[in-house]
Structure 1
Amino acid sequence: MKITVGHTPDSDDAFMFYGMLTGKIPSDDFTVHHVIEDIEELNRRALKEELDVTAVSVHACAYLPNYTILRAGGSFGIGYGPIVIAKTHLDIESVRKSKIAIPGKMTSAFLLLQLMIGKFDYIEMKFSDIPAAVRDGKADVGLVIHETQLSYEQEKLEKILDVGKWWHDTTGGLPVPLGTNVMSNRFDSKTMLKFDKYLHDSIKYGLDHIDEAMEYSMQYSRGKPAELIKKFVKMYVNDVTVEMGRSGEESIRKLFSMASESGIIKPFELKINPMR
Structure 2
Amino acid sequence: MKIAFSPCPNDTFVFHALVHGKISGAPEWDVTYADIHITNHWAIDRVGPDIMKISYAALPWVLEDYALLPCGGALGRGCGPLVLTRDSVLSSNNSSSDLSALSGKRIAVPSERSTAYLLFRLWAARNIPGGVGDIVVMPFDQIMPAVRDGEIDAGLVIHEARFTYSNYNLSKIVDLGSWWETTTGHPIPLGAIIAKRDMDLPALASWIRSSLEYAWAHPEESKVYIAEHAQEMAPEVTQAHIDLYVNSFTADLGTEGYEAISALLEQAAEANLVPKINPDLLKWPY
Q: State the TM-score bracket (shorter-chain normalisation).
A: over 0.9
1:182 pairs, out of 194, 197, 207, with 194
Give the deviation of 1:213 after TM superposition: 2.3
What's the secondary structure of 1:143's corresponding residue?
A: strand
One-letter amino acid matched to 2:191: G
Find the residue that maps to 1:228 and give its secondary structure: helix
1:53-132 alignment, distance < 5 Å: 53-64=51-62, 65-89=64-88, 90=90, 91-118=98-125, 120=132, 121-132=134-145
Q: Distance in 2 between matches of 1:197 and 1:103?
A: 31
* Poorly superposed stretches of 4+, deviation over 3 Å: none
SS at match of 2:119: helix
1:168 is displaced (CA, Å) by 0.7
CA deviation profile, 1:176-229 (whole Å, cap 9, x unmatched) = 001010001232xxx101101111111111112122223321122221210111
Q: Which moved more, 1:74-83 or 1:125-134?
A: 74-83
Q: How do residues 130-149 of structure 1 correspond to structure 2 at under 5 angstroms?
A: 130-149=143-162
Tell me the residue number matched to 2:263. Answer: 254
Change (3 A) 1:214 1:77: farther
Query: CA shift at 1:273, angstroms?
Result: 5.2
For the 8 Å contact 1:77–1:164, the answer to whether it is kept is no
* Aligned 8 A contact 2:61 2:275 in 1: no
Match of 1:31 in 2: 28
Q: Which amino acid aligns with 2:177?
A: G
State the aligned residue count: 269
How well do the aligned residues superpose, as a CA RMSD in angstroms?
1.6
Unaligned 5+ segments in structure 1 are: none
The letter for the 1-side match of 2:137 is E
Structure 1 window deviating more from structure 2 (248-257 vs 203-212): it is: 203-212
Letter in 1 for 2:116: A
Mean alpha-carbon deviation: is it higher for 87-96 or for 196-205? 87-96
Please report how far the alpha carbon of residue 48 of structure 1 lies from its aligned counterpart in structure 2 after TM superposition: 2.1
User: 1:84 is paired with a residue of what secondary structure?
Assistant: strand
Residues 2-17 of structure 1 correspond to what in structure 2 (within 5 A)?
3-17=1-15
Identity %: 30
The 1:249–1:96 alpha-carbon spacing in structure 2 relative to 1, beyond 3 Å, is: farther
Q: TM-score, normalised by structure 2?
A: 0.90
**How big is the shift at 1:92?**
2.3
